[in-house]
Chain A
Amino acid sequence: MRTIFRAPALGLAACLALTACGGGTPADTPAAQAPTTAPAEDAATATLTIWADQKRSETLKPFAEAFAKENGIKAEVVAVAQNQQQTFVTASQAGKGPDVLVGAHDWIGNLVQNGLIDPIQLTEDQLSGYVDVARKAVTYDGQVYGIPYAVENLALFRNTDLAPKAPQTFDELVETGKKLKEAGRVEEILGYTISQQDGQSGDTYHMYPLYTSGGGYLFGTKPNGDPDPADLGVGTPESIAAFEKVAALGEKGAGALKRSFTSDNSAALFADGKTAFLVAGPWRLADVRTAGVKYDVTPVPPFKGGDPARSFVGVQAFFVASKGQNKALAQEFVTNTLATPEVAQALFDAEPRMPALKTALAYAAGKDPDVAKFEAAAADGVPLPAIPQMVAVWGPFNTLIHAVVKGEPVAPAVKAAGKAIAEQLGQTG
């Protein structure tokens, strides 16, 4: 009797707490949004919350603490390991989001349609301090929504022992790779990420340079510079022609591109000297350097007689949350502290990504010769589209890449992907 009684009581207590919490959460929101008119004595309790990924949060911590000390407030840098965009959306909507968010520029479209980030008003002078592609990337619908700090794009890594001369065209690259393979010096013609990590669908991000060099495009451009979802480039004759060129390098063609290549295993091939070429971003620099391979970095070469091979440029930026509790502080921190060259340099020292601020870029280029090489590779790059409609592209386009590389008939596959994207865009657009 005694033991029977006690255990359920504890269980009850636990679920009581749970139901109480469950009932309470939705009702919290209005209170959280009410304007705070706290008296000045409460100042010490104001806390500026910053969300960043693990690496960035470590670097930003001292800057946040210095800012907090200067303004007599508290600052908290929270490392959000996974699923940052979705976590931010959910938490902000529940009134529990941060004041400042560190993230990628292609989140902007979705965050704006959810009303979760504010434009940042910068003067022309301030804006001109950033590299062009970064400025373009954080501008959405004519407004600047984030302060960019780093730029990432694809480039061609080349093993200089195996291939001393940088190929001028992609055809030349494949030729060189083939010869090396026939001579038994390498196992693969090149390392080129075709598949997502799951091996089951293609990788649009990595395919984009070849697709654009073949003459394809995803979306047209609106007069204000944003991508235009009404002008879909997938399914056009140009896109079919582009994928014909990709198919010629695929499993039933030259065998240079294979579905079994993922980002990880293609980088491992290059690091082990089993291939002379690798198309990857600056995030692979550390691996390549650790492996001790002699390498050089050049832009991804275009097809012979083709358009430039445009790499998608991803820009990392700081955002001010619309539903943060301390918006004025957040704006102050973002525009006056995070936008300084000191922060950009500290971030570069923590991880070698090309800084978006020109002065910091000069500093980085002085420290690391590869920075200038990636900068050169970014010259033809375009910002990853930030419009929410991009979500409709990934799935069908990824599938299309797999079909083409596998050697399926190109034209029907491209048309089917174009149709699937158009249908998804039309459904709610």
Chain B
Amino acid sequence: MTMLQTPARRRRAGTGAPPPRTRNWPGSASGVAGRVLALGLILGIAVWAAVPLVSSGAWTGVAITAVATGIALYAYLSPRRLPAKYLLPTTFLLVAFQVFPVLYTMSLALTNIGDGHLGSKQEAITAIETSSVRREAGSAEFRLTVAERDGALVFLLADPATRATYAGTPDGLRPLDGAVPGPGGRIAAADGYTVLTGAQAAARSAEITALTVPVDGGAIRSQGLTRAYQGKAVLAYDAGCDCVTGEGRIWRSDETQGRFVAADGHALPQGWQVGVGLANLTAALTNPKINAHFAGVFAWNLVYAVGVVVLTAALGVAAALVLHHRRMRGVRAYRTLIVLPYAMPAFAMLLVWRDMFNTDFGLINRLLGLHTDWLGTPLTARLSVLLVQLWLGFPYMFLVATGALQTIPDEYLEAAEVDGASPWQRFRQVTLPLLLLALAPLLVSSFAFNFNNFNGVFLVTSGGPFPSDNPTVGATDLLITYTFRLAFGQQGAEYGLAAAMSIYVYLIVAVISIIGFRRTRAFKEVT
């Protein structure tokens, strides 16, 4: 940095004139090169992002890219607009990783998206019709050769039983004379038809799948590239009545449910995504199955989050204080040991802890000679998840507290000592308030994290133990693990409901965090 600046300084010194405070870019050749490179990179990425978007006709995406690039160039092509240079990247990151996911979650909450309702109505209709095609029992299986005539696909069909040969087109089936038999009973060549090679057929795969040759009582369709069968689509969509008919029944389109429903209530499994308005959001409040256990789960969730924060902070601060003592020896070794749990992958550690709690084979019972069913009774299970999270979380608090302790001037404590304060008073009146000043915001964010600590509970207890008379809510369930089971444990995944629930969890955490941050400001006034 200093070296780079020297030529410029020298030049200014040489001219003897005051440095021009103009709109000129300061900097050397390499600085300019760096800027050109960075701007080139922005443009390059914009083009790289835009090309596939344009080719797929995603004009919204193109517009977003263009606007984003424009704003970036506007900010960085001028030596001015310094605030924008700082704000832009953070704003972009905020939009990409915070605003967009939140808005997307909210938009999902207004739909019934989930298993059976993933795609559009058209996709559902295609799936219903395709899966209803049934092979005519006992009908011939044709040997298929895909050919073309004047660019149009033709199925050259050989019936291995009767040795009859046919040419099939969308217009129907005609007998074919003069076909040359080939290997596997298939037709190798026929006059007037060009047999497609494997590669040519592969390229027209979608056309081959779509081609149906109408015959009496059904149609001949391909099954791969070398076989064809006679079958019939049992169900068909009728745009006139917006319904699916077949097997003597009618399933009418129900746009509120996003599926085809018959008069007797039977619904076709393939549904589609529809807007359900606020139904998911109100379900969380009004559906007794969901809200019956809310209060209990919420209370334990609060205890868990507060408990983890208080315990980890207390242990972390205590460890930091001990190691901060002037006469402490081997501090470095202790610090390394204490930070160890923080350095290990939490995911793996949670699973190791879970196995250590096993009644018969777990390390804890074996070491202590106990036979405690740790994860099997509500109280011990709750203690266990708190203990695990304490072990995982206190090194972080220890690190922060160690740093904060070093910023507290010794003079304060010495002054207090001179004033005759006892060690406890010195800690209580001087060290702790100053520590909390640094720790308080982190305690709030730790609370928010632990309030939603899915892994910390799900990997250790899965929310259990469950009371035998109610298998839906367990003793260590947090709101997030409870809603996870609700949204994904029933008829497959219900993303819409899950999104609605996560909005509520988000609101709860947001409110508590805001209150928390307000309170931390109060700390400042005290000191």
Contact = CB atoms under 8 A, between A and B. Distances in A.
Interface string A140-156: 01110000000000000
Contacts of A199: 354-355, 357-358, 375
B89 A73 contact: no
Contacts of A22: 96, 100
B203 A39 contact: yes
5 contacts: A8-B88, A18-B96, A28-B56, A199-B358, A399-B468
A10 B462 contact: no
Interface stretch (B47-55, B164-172, B406-414): B47-55
B1 A3 contact: yes
Contacts of A15: 89, 92-93, 96
Interface string B29-70: 001001100110110011011101101111011001100110
Interface stretch (A171-179, A214-222, A368-376, A404-412): A404-412
Nearest to B224: A332
Interface stretch (A107-115, A291-299, A306-314, A349-357): A107-115
A59 B184 CA distance: 27
A416 B210 CA distance: 50
B42 A392 contact: no
B42 to A, nearest CB: 5
Given A2-B31, A46-B203, A328-B205, A427 B224 contact: no
A400 B49 CA distance: 52
A144 to B, nearest CB: 9
Interface in B318-375: 354-355, 357-362, 373, 375
A334 B46 CA distance: 41
A86 B492 CA distance: 10
B470 interface: yes
Contacts of B361: 260, 265
Contacts of B196: 40
Contacts of A429: 491
Closest 6 pairs (CB-CB, A-B): A115-B127, A72-B199, A27-B58, A332-B224, A71-B198, A20-B49
B225 A328 contact: yes
Given A119-B133, A260-B360, A46 B492 contact: no
B69 A413 contact: no
A121 B465 contact: no
Interface in A80-128: 86, 89, 93, 109-110, 112-116, 118-124
Interface in A312-358: 322, 325-329, 331-336
B223 A120 contact: yes
Contact of B58 (A28, A35, A388): A28
B527 to A, nearest CB: 33
Contacts of B354: 198-199
A9 B115 contact: no
A28 B58 CA distance: 7
Nearest to B27: A2
B466 A399 contact: yes
Interface in A380-429: 388-389, 391-392, 394-396, 398-400, 402-403, 406, 408-409, 412-413, 416-417, 420, 423-425, 427-429
Contact of B205 (A258, A260, A327, A424): A327
A392 B490 contact: yes
A112 B270 contact: yes
Nearest to A3: B1
A5 B485 CA distance: 48
B289 A13 contact: no
B223 A331 contact: yes
Contacts of A86: 493
Give the interface size class of chain A.
35 or more
A356 B187 CA distance: 32
A73 B491 contact: no
Contacts of B46: 16, 20
Interface stretch (B9-17, B118-126, B426-434, B444-452): B118-126
Contacts of A121: 133, 135, 221, 223, 229, 231
A17 B205 CA distance: 34
A360 B26 CA distance: 77
A42 B206 contact: no
**Chain A interface mostly:** helix
B202 A388 contact: no
A329 to B, nearest CB: 5
A71 B92 contact: no
Nearest to B257: A428
A24 B210 CA distance: 29
Contacts of B471: 395-396, 398-400, 416-417, 420
B180 interface: no
A59 B126 CA distance: 34
A32 B240 CA distance: 28
Interface in B286-303: 289
Contacts of B141: 123
B163 interface: no
Contacts of B56: 24, 27-28, 31-32
Contacts of A70: 198
Contact of A200 (B48, B69, B464, B472): B464
A412 B491 contact: no
A126 B229 CA distance: 13
A40 B199 contact: yes
B205 A329 contact: yes
Given A37-B206, A115-B124, 20 more contacts: A2-B26, A9-B38, A10-B38, A11-B92, A12-B89, A16-B45, A20-B64, A40-B200, A43-B199, A46-B202, A112-B131, A114-B270, A123-B229, A201-B462, A201-B466, A328-B224, A329-B202, A329-B225, A335-B223, A388-B491
A329 B86 CA distance: 53
A259 interface: yes
B360 A258 contact: yes
A27 B42 contact: no
Given A395-B489, A416-B470, A4 B199 contact: no
A44 interface: yes
Contact of A110 (B93, B355, B492): B492
B50 A124 contact: no
Contacts of A333: 224
B138 interface: yes
A160 B348 CA distance: 37
B225 A12 contact: no
A165 B1 CA distance: 83
A23 B64 contact: yes
Contacts of B53: 20, 23-24, 27
Nearest to B486: A424
Contact of A12 (B72, B201, B224, B231): B72
